[in-house]
A and B are shown apart, each in its own frame.
Chain A
Amino acid sequence: MKLSTADVDYVAKLARLDVTDAEKEKFTAQLNDILGYIDKLNELDTTGVAPMTHAIAVTNAFREDRVVESLGTQAAVANAPDPRGEFFRVPKVIE
């Protein structure tokens, strides 16, 4: 499977990356190299093999539903590029 610059454009859009034309070209070639290498996996017949999603068998980790101290609004917004009081301000969303 060969990726075109149009595919790379589409993936960049999905990933919310505003890549430049020069990057697009570089990424197309590099992603094709990497995906070409990854194609190696198709040599293997994995019919019936259960996929492994975690390194160790963990089931849902529950804890007691107890109220503990939380971060607090001040600390939570302290790193925001544009905080307003206890809110995160962003550029307009709708025209």
Chain B
Amino acid sequence: MELYSLTIHELQDLLKKGEVSAREIAESVFARVDAVEEKVHSYIRLMKDEALAQAAQADADIKKGEIKPLTGIPVALKDIVCTKGVPTTCGSRILHNFVPPYNATVVEKLSAAGAVFVGKANMDEFAMGSSTETSYFGPTRNPWDLERIPGGSSGGSASAVAADECIASIGSDTGGSIRQPAALCGVVGMKPTYGRVSRFGLIAFASSLDQIGPFTKDVEDCAIMMNALAGYDPKESTSVQADVPDYRQFLGRDIKGWKIGIPKEYFVEGIDPEVAAAVEKAMSVVKACGGEAIDISLPHTQYCLAVYYIIAPAEASSNLARYDGVKYGYRAQGVRDLAEMYKKTRQEGFGAEVKRRIMIGTYALSAGYYDAYYGKASQVRALIRRDFDEAFKRCDVILTPTTPTPAFKLGEKTDDPLQMYLSDIFTISTNLAGIPGMSVPCGFSKAGLPLGVQFLANHFEEGKLLQIASVYEKAAAIEKRRPAL
């Protein structure tokens, strides 16, 4: 067994027993990167020198008997979280040369827990996309089928875990950008409650929806990562001052008598029959573990995508106004005056999808349209949240498919933005309501593509997600396949 193929908890056991060193783990992961990165392209930038120094530090700590929850564990960071002294591009030309002067809080927290950083993972430009095809640095490919997309926007973070180019990774999720690629790459991904994990140093896309979370190889690792990431941050005014439990305590606790909400609106036409069958099978496994399925309704589900495609672009158009070629990043050359410099810098610095969303957002916020678009969307958002409030009075968790289809082919949806947006149809509501959600592998299609089941819980109930996911993972015993790379 190669070290790169192991989980956090397996590697930690080996480190504790002194059977391997952090350096050996790091070298194993970088050897794997050397072998497969050309095919998959998970990374925008590798951090090998930094990683080997961190691994040496980890080995020194272990010698002193200090072993922290992530000591010596190679972790990839989506290139949207700021790393001090290491370029952070957000997948965009406009930030291609940006070197942050500080670390994101999650980077500080992972460092404090002993993590070793493998590199900065590829992503859709400014996290706008569902396929990692909008990256200025070229697309990432799905390790299970190189003709297909890994999902997005955190596609590189998902593919890096699936292809064993790291042990765990960090992504961000604004409308499904952790859970959708996790499902399509066959790994575990969690979007925590809004406010659970600090966004300080996360390059902003849609500030009322963005949340950072982990990708891991199994549910236990997800709990370990959440322990490292969660918590209040005085530097982040929307992070919440609430107690953070030890998430490992929820692993394997039984779910007897739990009510599992099945929203009828998520099982409609358009969903791939293989996905539907796999999710139904997951439901029967959960039932066999003592869960009781109940029918629920989330009546405003059909409006989620429309609400999202007003709110997210509106917030993005405002957040991305800062990229003007003055303080950092790309600046257009050969301009006559300041106004022209702004326009050319933004025109040349942003890709098509980012411009499209800036345009939608600017229009939706422009004089005379604010009430009709942003105002209306914010009202419907309240109704969507109310649907979940009502549902969680009747059930413990909600079970749905993560995505309507398995991974699609590169180029299949790039010319039709609306079709691309529809691939997030089951994940968007979670961000609008601010609740936590998690995608767990639930099998493979006949063509060998991974499929995911999604669990949703009420605000700050990540523990419940880990509980049901760990019980499900054990009972379902989904075959441990590895992509043939």
Interface residues of chain A, those whose CB is within 8 Å of chain B, are: 3, 7-8, 11-12, 14-19, 23, 27, 30-31, 33-35, 37-38, 40-42, 44, 46, 49-56, 58, 61, 63, 71, 75-76, 78-82, 88, 90-93, 95
Nearest residue, chain A, Cβ from B381:
A52
Interface residues of chain B, those whose CB is within 8 Å of chain A, are: 97-99, 101-102, 193-195, 208-209, 234, 237-238, 240, 300, 302-303, 305-307, 309-310, 317, 321, 324-331, 335-344, 346-347, 350, 352, 355-356, 358-360, 362-363, 366, 373, 375-383, 385, 417-418, 421, 431-434, 459
User: B417 → chain A, closest Cβ, in Å?
Assistant: 6
Q: Is the CB of A31 within 8 A of B338?
A: no
Q: Is the CB of A15 within 8 A of B362?
A: yes
Q: Is the CB of A54 within 8 A of B208?
A: yes
What DSSP secondary structure best describes chain A's contact surface? loop
Q: Is the CB of B380 within 8 A of A41?
A: yes
For the A-B complex with A50-B379, A55-B434, A91-B337 known, give 10 more contacts whose Cβ atoms are closer than 8 Å.
A12-B359, A16-B339, A17-B355, A34-B418, A37-B305, A41-B310, A51-B381, A56-B194, A56-B434, A79-B328
Q: How many A-B residue pairs have CB under 8 A?
A: 167
27 pairs, CB–CB < 8 Å, chain A vs chain B: A11-B366, A12-B359, A15-B317, A16-B339, A16-B346, A31-B360, A31-B363, A35-B360, A37-B309, A38-B373, A40-B302, A41-B306, A44-B303, A46-B379, A46-B380, A52-B381, A52-B385, A55-B385, A56-B195, A63-B234, A76-B101, A79-B97, A79-B99, A80-B327, A90-B326, A90-B341, A91-B338
Q: Is the CB of A31 within 8 A of B356?
A: yes
| Residues on the B chain within 8 Å of A54, using CB | 194, 208, 238, 434
Nearest residue, chain A, Cβ from B101:
A75
Q: Is the CB of A11 within 8 A of B382?
A: no
Q: Is the CB of B346 within 8 A of A18?
A: yes
| Residues on the B chain within 8 Å of A61, using CB | 237-238
| Residues on the A chain within 8 Å of B360, using CB | 31, 34-35
Identify which of A15, A37, A79 contacts B327 (C-beta below 8 A).
A79
